[in-house]
Amino acid sequence: MLPNVSRETLLDWCRRMFIIRHFEESLVPLHDQGVFGGHYHLYIGQEATGVPALSCLRADDYLFTTHRNHGHLLARGAEPKRLLAEILGRGDGYNKGKGGSFHTVVPSLGFLHTSAVVAGIIPLATGTAYASKALKNGRITVCLFGDGALEEGAAPEALNLASLWKLPVLFLCENNGKYGAGRATGATPSSTMAAFPLTDLPTAYKIPARQIDGIDAGTVHAAISETVEKIRRGEGPQFIETQTVRWPGSETNWPSVAQPTDSSLAWDVSGVAEKVREWYRSYDPLLIFIRELVDAQQATKEEVAAIEKKVKAEIADAVSFAVASPYPKPEEAARDYFA
Amino acid sequence: MATKRQNPTELVSFLRTMWLIRAFEEKVSALYAAREIVGLLHLGIGQEAVAVGTCSRLRTDDYVFGGHRSHGHAIAKGADINRLIAEIAGRAAGYCAGKGGSMHIVAMDAGFVTATGVVGGTIPLALGAAFAAKEKGKGQVAVVFFGDGAGQAGPFHESLNIASLWRLPVIFVCENNGYAEFTPLSSHTLVERLARHAQTYKIPSSTVDGNDLLEVRDAIAKAVQHARAGKGPAFVECLTHRLRGHYEGDPAKYRELSDLAEWKQKDPIARFIRELKRRKAISDKEIEGVEREARDLVERATQFALASPWPAGEEVDSQVTA
Amino acid sequence: MREMAYYEAKFEALHEIMAADERVHLINGTFLSLSPHRHIYQKLVKKYPDRIMSPPISELGFCGLATGAAMAGLRPIVDISTGSFIFEGWPQVANEAANAYYMSAGQTHVPVVFHLFHGLRGGGASQHSASPQAMLWNNPGLEIVLPSSPRDVKGLFKTAVASDNPTIFVDHVHLLDLKGDVPENDAPIPFGVADVKRKGSDVTVISTSYMVQRCLQVAEKLASDRISVEVVDPRTLVPFDMATLMASVEKTGRVVIVDETHQSCGVAAEIAARIAETGFDKLKAPLRRVATLDVPVPYSPPLEEYIGPREDRIIEAIRAVLR
């Protein structure tokens, strides 16, 4: 269902979701051609969680995310060209090439640190929440992580601290393992966690927890905006698990794009390769969103296509910018390690 | 609550072991006050029923792991008190040739694998022993003792998760004495019972009166049966109380005096004696005899230990690697 | 000038730090360890109940919390208590706090202090006796400070809190009752400034933390043998004051380094390497290290004593470089 927001906001979200989608897809050929190395993780299939969820935050709230961070940064308004430059290790990147994909930091958007260690950010999030409470500045912290993070001891330690000291933090667990190949066995969302549902973990600590459909933008927006208000009112930590179906392009060792996205797919998937067709037909949150947008007459197919065209051009520019951006000087490596 | 068909001789043997632990701990405390023992010493006075109730259901080839308060666990598992007290006193004749001390008891011959100075440190190790036991297929189980303070440590949760996922024959025995070091459990977590965490990971659990030996024994019996049958882990939380401070020398100003008076009433040894008398399984004379015998054994072990030589300095280089 | 006990100077520092900056929060609080005087810490707890937290046994949790709080504008001091327990929270210290500033290209500051007690304490055995500062020195991004006197602990604690970098404050329980002079209205001691604790002319003995006191005792003994020992205390490993050390090395030409970390890749090893690289031609004899032996720390008192930088080993090393 469509979220209860203005048309202007809906179109803005549409644009942000397209930015995420096309940005992420653009990384695959760049990686395969050797323009950048190392592991990278794409947010494709989770856009309808990131964009509506992060729209509920204030400009000065804190966010912590993980190796699957591009979607969060872009949803929050990071510049595609500077993010891409960072992923490529270039001097114009947000971290001047020192962080790379996993560690992109943009303090002005609330991203002070990103850890590549699963669950590494969960204790840190309790810290910014603790500071905000002590400094009485009204900021809240959103801690974004995946279903795997709860297996790490750091997670229950942090949940315990948050509940014990009533910290203003939203634990947002994006479970993208629903029916995901390689992860799910039977009804369990994750085959390496005995607790099921995952919300049983925070519940033990008396942290209010719920599971919601992460594919539906309206559901996400309603749940997150309500939950964020509770935290702002001082009710203590909250936990939300959003569920999405893993993008088929993540099933291989390295991401692969079997089907480049185009808004027309929202109405006709006949051209999509059979093994991924069902995902694009029924589980692609971006396509579902634009279909709902048009069905509700908030935009025409042509308007949506026009938004997408502009985004594609913006991403193409970002790619040119990043690829042309020079590498930092080698001596930079030995500088700037202490304040 | 208590097992009906229980052999009286066996019941008296439990009393013997509890008294052995009590006498041992009191003696070690006195030695510490006399500076015959140095370092950190944590006594389990008041928690004897958990140790004896649990180990009474185990085989010699079952694996037991402890924490920093584990003299009683080792004794209940069958460790030789002469070598135990020698170890705590840092002598060469000790189980670890003086290298381990109180918090690092290893009595492999009795199946007491190791204690630890790190809260929760042996929980993952017990997983490993259970994993090996499962591979070997002889029906062995692993038991790990830990306190309520370990419930907030990450490795505790990781271990519950893995034990459940892989159906490992490990029994988690939590001695919830309400205090982690110097602060009450309530200042460590909003969760009142650690068994709650076992439920999260779908591990069968029970919470029992840790000062009632037979209740502990019954709960452990179920857990052991479950694990030996290949059905996976189990969790037994024993509510108890330590009658001393966290460590010897701890003035324990943080404890309510009324708290202590109430628990002295629930002293596991006194309670068990009342139960034995109720069953007419023991006479007053025998009761005195059990205590006297325990103290004699401990006294002889102490003399053995104090007469033992210190380890030679050069010994530090031995057994660093195999 | 006042004569104070180390624990009094440390407590005075904490008091002044808490009063001066309300962004300072204390997470965990065994700053006076198991000292019989530790009850004075309760005065602080009563005065600042909202800024002093007593966490559960969750090193990953509370080291991470302190790091995150530092990123968001507080200046926390985390007490890890027994140094060995840093291994329980190691990922947050070494892999998050240490890296944040650098990998963000300076955008994120982490002004957190991790306080711990290191070393051989008397019966601590293998899991309560670690000296992790050598491993931490090998993990770039952390400042490391080791006070050895009442004046030092007060001055260095203030600088640690004022620093915008993550700082490891390495203390030792055997220092707590030491008495020494502390000036009135003392100023914070800057990092990267070594201190010549005793002037001498025959041999340079470089030492840290509690070993400084042991070396001073040795120096006093050897003075009656007419051996003049200069004791130099780096006070901070990161940043490190090479200049003061080299001035002493140039003067004496003979060097003994005494440190409680284990010998292999220990603090003494790194200092020795630096001196050998930059001042080889100044040395009149090969330098010597006196460190804890490369074995896990045993429990029994004679064994524990055996493995440490014993007085007789220090004396033997000094005599050796003088031959």
- Domain count of chain C? 2
Average model confidence (pLDDT) for chain C? 95
pLDDT tens for each residue of B113-138: 999 999 999 999 999 999 999 989 99
For chain A, domains (ranges, CATH) are 7-319 (3.40.50.970)
| Domain definitions of chain B by residue range | 8-309
Candidate from A66-80, A108-122, B175-189, C211-225 with smallest mean pLDDT:
B175-189
Amino acid at position B90, single letter: G
Decide if C78 is inside a domain. Answer: yes
Does residue C60 belong to any structural domain of this protein?
yes
In a shared domain, residues C75 and C220: no
- Asked if the structure places residue C119 within a domain, the reply is yes
C-alpha torsion A80→A82→A87→A93, nearest 10: -170
Per the CB < 8 Å rule, is B191 touching A160? Answer: yes
Question: Is C29 within the bounds of a domain?
Answer: yes
Q: Which residues of A touch B (CB under 8 A)?
A: 151-157, 160, 163-164, 192-196, 200-201, 203-206
Q: What is the mean pLDDT of residues C110-137?
A: 95
Verify that C159 and C202 share a domain, yes or no: no
Q: Is B203 helix (H, G, I), strand (E, B) or coil?
A: coil
Domain check: are C50 and C106 in the same one? yes
Per residue in B178-219, pLDDT (tens digit) is 877 778 899 999 999 999 999 999 999 999 999 999 999 999
pLDDT at res. C186: 83
* CATH number, position C219: 3.40.50.920
CA distance A122 to chain B (A): 12
Name C279's bridge partners: none
Given a cut of 80, whether residue B257 has pLDDT beyond it is no
Average pLDDT over residues A310-335: 94
Q: What pLDDT is recorded for position A37? A: 86
pLDDT tens profile A170-227: 999 999 886 544 444 433 334 578 998 999 999 999 999 999 999 999 999 999 999 9
Closest partner residue to A105 among C108, C141, C164, by Cβ?
Answer: C108
Domain B8-309, CATH homologous superfamily name and number: Thiamin diphosphate (ThDP)-binding fold, Pyr/PP domains (3.40.50.970)
Indicate whether C8 and C48 sit together in one domain. Answer: yes
Q: What is the CATH number of the domain that holds C96?
A: 3.40.50.970
A248 three-state secondary structure: helix
Specify the pLDDT at position A38: 82
Domain containing residue C84: 2-182
> Rounded distance, CA B154 to CA A157, Å?
6
Query: Do residues C169 and C116 lie in contact, with contact meaning Cβ atoms separated by under 8 Å?
Result: yes
Task: Say whether A291 sits in a helix, a strand or coil.
Answer: helix
Which residues of chain C lie closer than 8 angstroms to B313, CB-CB?
302-303, 305-306
Query: What DSSP character marks residue C120?
Result: -
Q: Do residues C27 and C129 both lie within one domain?
A: yes
pTM of this prediction?
0.91
Q: Using the predicted structure, report yes or no on whether residue C156 has a pLDDT greater than 50.
A: yes
pLDDT value, residue B250: 76
User: Span C245-253, mean pLDDT?
Assistant: 98
Domain endpoint, select from C141, C158, C182: C182
**Catalytic positions of C, please?**
59, 128
Together in a domain, C89 and C233: no
Q: How far is B132 from chain C (nearest CA, A)?
A: 25
Residues of A in contact with B170 (CB under 8 A): none
Residue C189 lies in a domain: no
**Shared-domain flag, residues C73 and C216:** no
Q: Give per-residue pLDDT as tens, A16-72.
A: 999 999 999 999 999 999 999 888 899 999 999 999 999 999 999 999 999 999 999
Helix (H) or strand (E) holding C27: strand C26-27
**Sequence-ordered list of residues with C-beta below 8 angstroms from that of B218, at least 6 positions apart, any chain:** B1, B2, B3, B208
User: Which of B118, B119, B316 is facing C298, going by the closest CB pair?
Assistant: B316
Residue contact C125–B154, C-beta within 8 A: no
Question: Which of B118, B119, B123, B157 is most worth mutating to test chain A (most A CB atoms within 10 A of its CB)?
Answer: B157
Residue C286 lies in a domain: yes
Closest CA to A47 of A23, A67, A64, A82: A23
Strand order in the sheet with A169-178: A62-64, A141-146, A169-178, A238-245, A209-213
Q: How far is A18 from chain C (nearest CA, A)?
A: 27
